[in-house]
Structure 1
Amino acid sequence: MAKSSTIKVLEQCNVSPPLNSAPPISLPLTFLDIPWLFFSPSQPLFFYDYPYTTSHFTSTTLPNLKNSLSLTLQHFYPLAGNLTMSPFEPCKPEIIYSQGDSVSLTIAESNGQFNHLCSNYPRDVNEFHSLVPQLDDKQVLIPLLAIQATVFPKAGICIGLAYQHVVADGRTFNNFMKTWASFCSFGDSFSMKSLPSYDRKVIVDALGLEDIFLKEWRRRKSLKEIAIGSEDNVDLSNMVRATFVVGLSDMNRIKSWIIAKCNEENKSHPVHLSAYVLTCAFIWICLVKAQDGVNEKCCGEDPNYFGFIAGGITRLDFPVPASYFGNCVGFGRSMAIRKELMGEDGVVVAARAIGSTVKTLDKAIFGDAKKWISDWKVLFGLDLNVMVAGSPKLDLYETDFGWGRAKKIEEISIDCMRAISLTESRDVEGGIEVGLALHKTKMDAFTTFFTQGLRAFP
């Protein structure tokens, strides 16, 4: 067990785009942004090796970090702006950037054990919370992004962020991070391949989803119960976070086992056995089994749900540039009966359910969009259900500020979401890292099912 650590704040400042470099802008939320009003901020942490002293960091690295952030905000200036949310019709929530708006940047020093925090084994979730910047959402104007850089003397740096998902999906956030890292590495000589596109007209609301989502948002806001995707009173005592890696060889063995099992029972193969589906199916089964041992609410006939985010740009029937700034994702929810997930063919059942949902989204990503919010309420209504945050397709580990690739990436918001996080594996080519935050007894059970489960596939 690591010793308790302390954080010392060295500086609190604000970083703006260079003077007169970014025009004032008002971005209306599209129907793809509005659903994220129901969710709490994303909280990713990027850990980097950094074998230098704090004084070296503040005198050499910090000025470059600030300047490169300013240059990046010159192009991603809405992130320095605010979200306005009047609940009264006909006003709609919108993102506003004005000259002088800025991003809060906290500089801190930690005496914590850097390598311990970067490990995969279970660690107390509370050890990470001091590395996450505060993002005030109680104001009339709600900041969209806050950043904290924490130096671990002669060990490493943690770049912690908190951002409102309503302003950016994973793709947009990844574009921002890669741009900031590139400016930090190469300075003014870095040239962006494509600038962010702020043209909201490319998003076509053919199904009238904006009115449906706004109506539900106004209703929940009037009742003061907006949040769906997080819980305020989660018991974080005795909760740990750990990372599990599913390698390409593991996926191939799972896939071969599924196909052999279907052939043996003369059943059709699941329609879609991608690396993502195989990983999610196996993790879902391990979680179901781990919950069964410690949760008395479990019932074999209950439906269990697995929710995930689906990239929209390649699935839309209208063109959206890859540089589009904003949200362009859909939502999928797979269902299976608990006793079938617990059975011998559980992985087959899970893969069939998730794969079928993926294929349905491929054909019509907005087919069930009218039910997204009600689906979320069901999904987050019971701790038997699972939600996925993140994507292994973003190559987040390639975010290099000049200190090398990230040593570890963690998503802290899953602590209060009952979600799992997915990212590409740093060290296993083709692998996927799965981040979990569970109470220790459940994590111990999950670890056993994960380890034994992988060994069982020939």
Structure 2
Amino acid sequence: MAHLQEVMFKVLEQSQISPPPGSVPTTTLPLTFFDMPWLRCFPMQRLFFYEFPHSTLHFSQTTLPILKTSLSLTLQHFFPFAAKLLCPPSPHKPYILYTNGDSIEFTVVESTCDMHQVAGNHARDVRELHPFVPRLPPSCVSSDGTRVLPLLAVQVTVFPFSGVCIGVEFSHVAADGRAFNHFMKSWASICRSKGNSLIYVEKWLPSFGRDQIEDPQGLESILLKDWWDWSSTREEDKGPINEGLTDKVRATFVLGKAQIERLKYWVSSHCLNNNEVRLSTFAVTCALIWVCVVKSQESEVGNLHNDDELCYFNFVADCRNRSEFSIPETYFGNCLALCFVTLKMSDIMGEDGIVAATKAIGNKVRELESGALRGADKWLSDWNEICESDHVVTVAGSPRLRVYETDFGWGKPIKSEVANIDVARGFYLSDSRHEEGGIEFGVAISKAQMNVFNAFFEEALRLL
């Protein structure tokens, strides 16, 4: 691919999209303790690439009007994305406010680069995806000191006679991955029907009832204090941090269903007692990736690691439909428990590193069954401490979100990417485009580390 500065990007349109006039009343949504940990999170960035073998003119005349109309209709039901996050000074709580006329920024761009190169699985400069990611407009501060932040921006990039990319940047405070994908599939469904059918949306209307979330542990006050302490000393918003990305590459890997089953069998055969490990697809897949990432990192320092140094793996667990809550599947907002897994470096680097990692992740998942909010009062303090470590790996996304079912009428995506892993020290998981039960994951690390990651990953698959 040509260097980014040599690639042509032409802005065709910049506009604002809002729900149909008068369709949504002024609405205030308070944040819950599930939302508050994400006040400090970088925006989430998701890209969907589609085949579209038509000219830009054809797209502008036939498809763009439907995209915009269907987005407006979708925002009528998912209005928090068009709203603003208001963060007043302490001791007042942040909240989401929608008022009539609120809108999102919608940009249309034409690109001359090769979409299939950009959306490939091969290792390439992480910055190659950045031109396709929209940027949330900057926050502003009102006269009373309240910081006002937009929550969603959309960019549509047309690759003439090749394809279309729909890029979205959104604030995690407004929605978690499941809520966001609910929004995207609803938009896609309305677009696919050319705005003539709301059957999918009406069947799966989002639920906004914050009173469904109980807080017997008083987590809100604990997390609010942490937010106020942090926000009182933070600097102005500077957007995503792109410095330090010049040596980073990203690549996508695919695990077939048969490979995953062999991986489960291999882990099981190395356990003295099969009851001591939970052999879920999530646990074994994340364990394999975690071990390969750590080994690739350690290769850069000549394997001079401290055996007692701690390695951390962080993931989230959806709390919808759990017996301890009464939160419906269609709840729109955040409904995630933060989970932290810890292993010594010697366990990760050992011959049975994948087995040890699978056990640790599986045990954490098992703990959730006896209480998803156990230790929730320390979510942010634990996260602050863990972030100081050089050995933190975080997973974004989930195969359960089924991103490859997001069809706007052009067929399923040829590729979906989570762009923000560039700065998040982690990887993303999704369903496989090609096989039911398969897994696709993306990693963003240095060039040298990627070569080692590849070697360890292929070596692990040969053992199966």
Fold agreement, TM-score > 0.5: yes
1:409 corresponds to: 416
Q: Deviations over 1:10-42 (max 9, x none)?
A: 110000111111111000000101111010110
Q: d(CA) in 2 for partners of 1:209 and 1:137?
A: 30
Establish whether residue 280 from structure 1 lines up as the match of residue 280 from structure 2: no
Q: Which region of structure 1 is more displaced relative to structure 2, 141-150 or 247-256?
A: 247-256
CA drift of 1:314 comes to: 3.1
1:218 corresponds to: 228
CA contact (8 A) 1:2 1:113 kept: no
Establish whether residue 152 from structure 1 lines up as the match of residue 144 from structure 2: no
Unaligned stretches of 5+ residues in structure 1: none
2:22 corresponds to: 20
Q: d(CA) in 2 for partners of 1:316 and 1:117?
A: 43
AA matched with 1:277 = A
Q: d(CA) in 1 for partners of 2:274 and 2:441?
A: 29
CA drift of 1:381 comes to: 2.2
Q: d(CA) in 2 for partners of 1:234 and 1:383?
A: 18
Q: d(CA) in 1 for partners of 2:357 and 2:94?
A: 38
Q: Percent identity?
A: 46
Establish whether residue 178 from structure 1 lines up as the match of residue 188 from structure 2: no
Q: d(CA) in 2 for partners of 1:32 and 1:100?
A: 28
Give the TM-score taking structure 1 as reference length: 0.95
Q: d(CA) in 2 for partners of 1:128 and 1:108?
A: 14
CA contact (8 A) 2:108 2:155 kept: yes
AA matched with 2:455 = T
CA drift of 1:145 comes to: 0.2
Q: Which region of structure 1 is more displaced relative to structure 2, 7-16 or 129-138?
A: 129-138
Q: d(CA) in 2 for partners of 1:357 and 1:225?
A: 35
2:66 corresponds to: 64
2:299 corresponds to: 293
Summarize the alignment of residues 102-141 of structure 1 with structure 2, pairs less than 5 Å apart: 102-139=103-140, 140-141=147-148
CA contact (8 A) 1:379 1:386 kept: no
Which of the residues 407, 423, 436 maps onto 2:430? 423
Unaligned stretches of 5+ residues in structure 2: 141-146
CA drift of 1:378 comes to: 3.0
Q: d(CA) in 2 for partners of 1:116 and 1:202?
A: 46
CA contact (8 A) 1:85 1:92 kept: yes
Q: d(CA) in 2 for partners of 1:226 and 1:365?
A: 34
Which of the residues 189, 194, 198 maps onto 1:190? 198
Q: Deviations over 1:266-302 (max 9, x none)?
A: 3454331100111001111111111110136732211
The Cα RMSD (Å) is: 1.7
CA contact (8 A) 1:231 1:417 kept: no
Q: d(CA) in 1 for partners of 2:392 and 2:156?
A: 34
Q: d(CA) in 2 for partners of 1:169 and 1:298?
A: 36
Q: d(CA) in 2 for partners of 1:160 and 1:299?
A: 41
CA contact (8 A) 1:294 1:442 kept: yes
Q: Deviations over 1:33-80 (max 9, x none)?
A: 111101011000000000000001111110000000000011111110
CA contact (8 A) 1:270 1:348 kept: no
CA contact (8 A) 2:321 2:329 kept: no
CA drift of 1:428 comes to: 2.5
Q: Which region of structure 1 is more displaced relative to structure 2, 337-346 or 267-276?
A: 267-276
Q: d(CA) in 1 for partners of 2:408 and 2:115?
A: 18
1:95 corresponds to: 96
CA contact (8 A) 1:383 1:418 kept: no
Q: Which region of structure 1 is more displaced relative to structure 2, 406-415 or 374-383?
A: 374-383
Give the TM-score taking structure 2 as reference length: 0.94
Q: d(CA) in 2 for partners of 1:314 and 1:339?
A: 38
1:41 corresponds to: 43
